[in-house]
Amino acid sequence: MDRIFTVDEARALLPQVIEDARVVIAARADLTEIEHDRRAGRASPLGGLPEVKGLQARVEEIVSAWIEQGIEVKGIAPVLVDFPAVLDGVSVRLCWIEGETELGWYHRTELGFAGRRPLSHVPPTG
């Protein structure tokens, strides 16, 4: 899906993205712990292979839902998503990374995360 978001549209989706990200973060931590215990030859109190498969499926379900909405998933460790947008005629990505409480950053499409700038000067209907 080649969706272009306005700042308002992306901000409207962000609460659900943050809630979904919490699930991904918890699953990521559980997966890491289970896999560590499995490699060490120990049983994990969090489960075994069935739980791993269930957690992986849940993460994939969330990531797929984001992609279907036109959100670009750049990573899950940390969770990093971009909303394609156009600001002042320039292709940009409205950028959110886990730990942020609002959508406050963007970068030119071709520059990536290192080119992040605050959205504070962009009007809310941008």
Give the pLDDT of residue 58. Answer: 98
What total number of domains does the chain contain?
A: 1
User: Which residues span the domain enclosing 48?
Assistant: 7-121
What single DSSP character describes residue 44? B
Give the pLDDT of residue 123. Answer: 56
Task: Measure Cα distances from 33 to 50, 67, 69 in Å.
Answer: 14, 27, 31
Asked if the structure places residue 107 within a domain, the reply is: yes
Q: How confident is the model at residue 122 (pLDDT cuts 50, 70, 90)?
A: low
For residues 22 and 6, the answer to whether their CB atoms sit within 8 Å is no
60-79 average pLDDT score: 98
Residue at token pair 């520059």: 111
In whole angstroms, give the CA distance from residue 58 to residue 55: 5
Q: How confident is the model at residue 126 (pLDDT cuts 50, 70, 90)?
A: very low
Reading across the β-sheet that carries 117-118, which strands appear in turn? 72-76, 79-87, 90-97, 105-108, 117-118
In whole angstroms, give the CA distance from residue 62 to residue 44: 25
Asked if the structure places residue 1 within a domain, the reply is: no
96-115 average pLDDT score: 96
Helix (H) or strand (E) holding 22: helix 7-39
Residues 6+ apart with CB under 8 A from 124: 7, 8, 11
Asked if the structure places residue 111 within a domain, the reply is: yes
Give the pLDDT of residue 2. Answer: 85
